[in-house]
Structure 1
Amino acid sequence: MMAADLQAALANADVIHDRETLERAIAKMAVSIRDAYADGPVPVFLTVMHGGLPFAGRLAIELGECGLDCEFDYLHATRYRGETAGGELVWKHRPATSLQGRRVLLVDDIVDEGQTLLAVRDWCREQGASEVRIAALAVKSHDRCVEGICADFAGVEVPDRYVFGYGMDYHEQGRNLPAIYALR
């Protein structure tokens, strides 16, 4: 995929949430997460790669600002592998941190239909996690989400369109854009 494709996508997209809006939403989420984890042991902050990386980095700093310490690890499980439709779940990296008896915060870019997050959440529970919560920067507005999956902490809502930026990709491009865009 050539960079020109991303430029064409940007020319045919609307800015749904700008950087300032996203950073305010993340700061607000951090306060809610801090409050939820105020009593008890430090949570395991699990970033879902690749999409969750930009959001997770910003959220981690905001949590530190709020006074919540976390133990960090990551996982890489994907159903997309550069495609626009998901297939079978492929694990590229599992966390090295033991989840046995731990409170886990899964941190991802978006809750769309939730099939990947469902599989990852169930895996965390199989590993003995005492609690698994989901923090997602964006939640797509539709009624196709897998039953039982929702963001415990959500930043913004996005329309039921192809969205990219701030972790979400356009054919493996544009994850580092400082806003969320939606194709027209």
Structure 2
Amino acid sequence: MSADLEHIRQVMREADCLYNEAEVEAAIAKVGAHISEQLHDKNPVVFCVMNGGLIFAGKLLTHLQFPLEASYLHATRYRNQTSGGELFWKAKPEVSFIDRDVLIVDDILDEGHTLSAIIEFCKHAGARSVYTAVLIDKDHDRKASPDLKANFVGLPCVDRYIFGYGMDYKGYWRNANGIFAVKGM
């Protein structure tokens, strides 16, 4: 076994559970209800931001009981690191945004650089309106813009390095069934 894999296992053993599975699932259901109230008659395109938004989007979609188109896009600043860099497009959306209402689903609103760039991309591509849903909204004063807020938020979170439910630690633990904070980070 490699030392790196042992480190990854140790991170999970020592992590603090901030939200357990039941708490996260309840938050996803609540977000789904709010989205359904506001977007049920809009025929939105729902874009999952890969890879982080995968689990949240998949679970959220089952709570949206109205017609929608689902797709994905892949933009990242992290590239398996613990701090962000330049925005990197791995896969741009293939569905037209022109005169459509768009819902962007992502794992976390941290500083918001990635989400801001995706919102601007959608607007420039002709979206009628752009909504955002995030599982976690991290509480700090480092947002890309003081005006940047998600339309739909599952849970608030302290300013720590977190993983689980799609969020990763160095590419691992997206599959963790809760929201965990790395010890000391």
Normalising to structure 2: TM-score of the pair? 0.94
Task: Give me the whole-angstrom Cα distance separating, in 2, the residues matched to 1:58 and 1:45.
Answer: 13
Task: Give me the whole-angstrom Cα distance separating, in 2, the residues matched to 1:109 and 1:119.
Answer: 15
Question: Secondary structure of 1:29's partner?
Answer: helix
- Tell me the residue number matched to 2:164: 165
Task: Give me the whole-angstrom Cα distance separating, in 2, the residues matched to 1:15 and 1:33.
Answer: 27
Farther off after superposition, 103-112 or 81-90? 81-90
1:88 Cα deviation after fit? 1.1
Question: Secondary structure of 1:128's partner?
Answer: coil
Task: Give me the whole-angstrom Cα distance separating, in 2, the residues matched to 1:166 and 1:38.
Answer: 25
Question: Secondary structure of 1:133's partner?
Answer: strand
Give the gaps of 5 or more residues in structure 1. Answer: none
1:18 Cα deviation after fit? 0.7
Would the aligned equivalents of 2:139 and 2:159 in 1 still touch at CA under 8 Å?
yes
- Alignment identity in percent? 44
Task: Give me the whole-angstrom Cα distance separating, in 2, the residues matched to 1:88 and 1:4.
Answer: 30
AA partner of residue 55 (structure 1): F
- Tell me the residue number matched to 2:152: 153
1:159 Cα deviation after fit? 1.0
Task: Give me the whole-angstrom Cα distance separating, in 1, the residues matched to 2:12 and 2:175.
Answer: 13
1:158 Cα deviation after fit? 1.2
1:3 Cα deviation after fit? 2.8
2:83 to 73, 82, 85: 85
- Tell me the residue number matched to 1:143: 141
- Tell me the residue number matched to 1:31: 33
- Tell me the residue number matched to 2:54: 53
Q: For this pair of structures, how many residues does the alignment match? A: 180
Task: Give me the whole-angstrom Cα distance separating, in 1, the residues matched to 2:49 and 2:73.
Answer: 5
Give the gaps of 5 or more residues in structure 2. Answer: none
Question: Secondary structure of 2:63's partner?
Answer: helix
Question: Secondary structure of 1:31's partner?
Answer: helix
List 4+ stretches of structure 1 deviating above 4 A. none
- Tell me the residue number matched to 1:69: 67
Question: Secondary structure of 1:27's partner?
Answer: helix
Task: Give me the whole-angstrom Cα distance separating, in 2, the residues matched to 1:119 and 1:61.
Answer: 27
1:183 Cα deviation after fit? 1.6
Task: Give me the whole-angstrom Cα distance separating, in 2, the residues matched to 1:175 and 1:38.
Answer: 30
Please state if 1:182 is matched with 2:184.
Answer: no
How big is the alpha-carbon RMSD for the aligned residues of Structure 1 and Structure 2?
1.1
Task: Give me the whole-angstrom Cα distance separating, in 2, the residues matched to 1:4 and 1:70.
Answer: 42
